[in-house]
């Protein structure tokens, strides 16, 4: 589905490539972090920098920004002179809103001829200042978080091909990074595998996908089925997970994706630095479940659509730990679960792929 909202039209146009939303962004990118307070809410920009760094020319940060993506800091004027094609909102804010404080920066970028790319729930066309600026320069306003129209309801029909889904003990714990690392490792081995994007950042990276958190709930599992259709018996779809079954705010999309994906294999993603679920730490109400409990919870629901589903590994964000401590942690998790425990950025995904292709684990 072409997601380029033309400046003279307030709605994204609708076409489909294999039933998936397709987006074409004009590189290179200026990653806009605004005044984001932490890395957990900057996952869109950080994800693009991690997986498409060659397309990222610089970053634009407002006073008070607590995130540094490691790119050259640029103003809009500097980016325009450098030939930047798009300013990409690198923040995934709660509720998917665009704060008033950002509008002036985004309008300035559009006025300078940069396409404005948003993964928010709100539409860029809802901001007259940005629309007017884009109309004056001919820049595009691109809303990535736009699902295809006329989605089906889920059927639960067993599909051909094989599927791996990344799941999590919380939101923003590395499900996208893990899926991309697994796909990268599988392709390096000559295995037929495709990354299937389910969120705005993944769609920007892959160029196509379905933003599952924008789908009406009745059609969530149907959208997940559409995302990963029948395939050759030896083909693997590596599906980006969303949310967490244990999260009181986002479990709905997690369950719909789990049922619709009908996975053959699961990888649990975990951030050991989290004591409470993202967004609930101030109230200290909802502790992150232990890894073993999360595994049991996921298997209970996944076996409804595929009794043979199995976990093949743990993906652990150890970025905050020194190497000796992280090795102790990973070894302890392996003893608890019997699964290989890796950090996909520091270790790669080879050990998980070894288990996957061998048909092992539980």
> What pLDDT, on the 0 to 100 scale, is given for residue 39?
86
> What pLDDT, on the 0 to 100 scale, is given for residue 10?
32
> What is the distance between the alpha carbons of residues 338 and 128, in angstroms, rounded to a whole number?
55
> What pLDDT, on the 0 to 100 scale, is given for residue 19?
59
pLDDT level of residue 261 (50, 70, 90 thresholds): very high
> What is the distance between the alpha carbons of residues 92 and 272, in angstroms, rounded to a whole number?
21
Say if residue 108 is in the same domain as residue 172.
no
Say if residue 75 is in the same domain as residue 124.
yes
> What pLDDT, on the 0 to 100 scale, is given for residue 21?
63
Say if residue 107 is in the same domain as residue 78.
yes
Residue 153 placed within a domain: no
Domains contained in the chain, number: 2
SS (H, E, C) the chain: CCCEECCCCCCCCCCCECCEEECCCCCCEEEEEECCCCHHHCHHHHHHHHHCHHHEEEEEECCCCCCCCCCCECCHHHHHHCCCCEEEECCCCCCCCCCHHHHHHHHHHHHCCCEEEECCCCCHHHCHHHHHHHHHHCCCEEECCCCCCCCCCCCCCCCCCEEEEEEECCCCCCHHHHHHHHHHHHHHCCCCEEEECCCHHHHHHHCEECCHHHCCHHHHHHHHHHHCCCCCCCCEEEECCCCCCCCCCCHHHHHHHHHHHCCCEEEEEECCCCCECCCCCCCCCCECCCHHHHHHHHHHHHCCCCCCCEEEEEEECCCCCCHHHHHHHHHHHHHHHCCCEECCCCCCCHHHHHHHHHCCCC
CATH number, domain of 106, equals 3.40.50.720
CATH number, domain of 246, equals 3.40.50.300
Say if residue 176 is in the same domain as residue 95.
no
Say if residue 109 is in the same domain as residue 254.
no
State pLDDT tens for residues 168-186: 999 989 999 999 999 999 9
> What pLDDT, on the 0 to 100 scale, is given for residue 350?
98
Domain stops at, among 86, 112, 143: 143
Residue 270 placed within a domain: yes
Q: Which of 9-18, 195-204, 214-223, 313-322 has the lowest mean pLDDT?
A: 9-18
Give me the mean pLDDT over the 311-318 stretch. Answer: 98
Residue 293: domain span? 162-358
Give me the mean pLDDT over the 183-198 stretch. Answer: 97
> What pLDDT, on the 0 to 100 scale, is given for residue 8?
35
| Burial class of residue 137 (count of CB atoms within 10 Å of its CB; 0-12, 13-18, 19+) | middle
State pLDDT tens for residues 120-148: 999 999 999 999 999 999 999 999 998 88
State pLDDT tens for residues 79-129: 999 999 999 999 987 677 899 999 999 999 999 999 999 999 999 999 999
pLDDT level of residue 13 (50, 70, 90 thresholds): very low
> In this model, does residue 7 exceed pLDDT 70?
no
> In this model, does residue 155 exceed pLDDT 70?
yes
Q: Give percent of the chain above pLDDT 70.
A: 93
Give me the mean pLDDT over the 235-256 stretch. Answer: 97
> In this model, does residue 159 exceed pLDDT 80?
yes
Give me the mean pLDDT over the 150-169 stretch. Answer: 96
> What pLDDT, on the 0 to 100 scale, is given for residue 2?
31
Say if residue 119 is in the same domain as residue 251.
no
Residue 348 placed within a domain: yes
């Amino acid at each position: 589905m072409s997601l380029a909202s033309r400046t003279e039209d307030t709605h994204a146009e609708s076409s489909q490539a294999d039933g998936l939303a397709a987006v074409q962004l004009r590189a290179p990118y200026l990653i806009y972090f605004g005044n984001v307070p932490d890395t957990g809410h900057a996952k869109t920009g950080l994800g693009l920098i991690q997986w498409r760094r060659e397309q990222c020319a610089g970053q634009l940060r407002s006073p008070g920004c607590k995130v540094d993506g490691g790119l050259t800091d640029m103003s809009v004027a500097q980016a325009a002179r450098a030939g930047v094609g798009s300013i990409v909102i690198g923040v995934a804010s709660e509720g998917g809103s665009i704060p008033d404080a950002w509008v002036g920066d985004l309008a300035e970028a559009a006025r300078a001829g940069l396409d404005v790319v948003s993964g928010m729930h709100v539409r860029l066309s809802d901001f007259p200042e940005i629309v007017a600026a884009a109309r004056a320069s001919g820049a595009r306003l691109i809303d990535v978080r736009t699902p295809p129209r006329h989605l089906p309801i889920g059927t639960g029909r067993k599909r051909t091909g094989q599927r791996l889904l990344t799941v999590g003990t919380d939101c923003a714990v590395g499900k996208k990074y893990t899926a991309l690392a697994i796909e990268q490792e599988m392709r390096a081995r000559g295995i037929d595998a495709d990354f299937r994007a389910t969120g705005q950042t993944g769609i920007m990276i892959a160029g196509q996908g379905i933003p599952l958190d924008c789908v009406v709930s009745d059609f969530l599992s149907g959208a997940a089925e559409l995302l990963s259709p029948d395939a050759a018996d030896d083909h693997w779809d590596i599906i980006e997970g969303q949310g967490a079954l244990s999260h009181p705010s986002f479990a709905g999309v997690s369950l719909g994706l789990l049922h619709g994906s009908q996975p053959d294999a699961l990888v649990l993603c975990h951030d050991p630095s989290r004591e409470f679920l993202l967004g609930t730490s101030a109230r200290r109400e909802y502790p992150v479940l232990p890894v073993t409990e999360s595994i049991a919870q996921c298997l209970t629901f996944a076996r409804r659509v595929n009794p043979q589903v199995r976990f093949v590994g743990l993906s652990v964000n150890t970025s905050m730990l020194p190497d000796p401590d992280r090795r102790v942690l990973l070894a302890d998790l392996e003893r608890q679960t019997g699964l290989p425990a890796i950090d996909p950025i520091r270790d790669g995904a080879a050990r998980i792929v070894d288990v996957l292709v061998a048909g092992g684990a539980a």
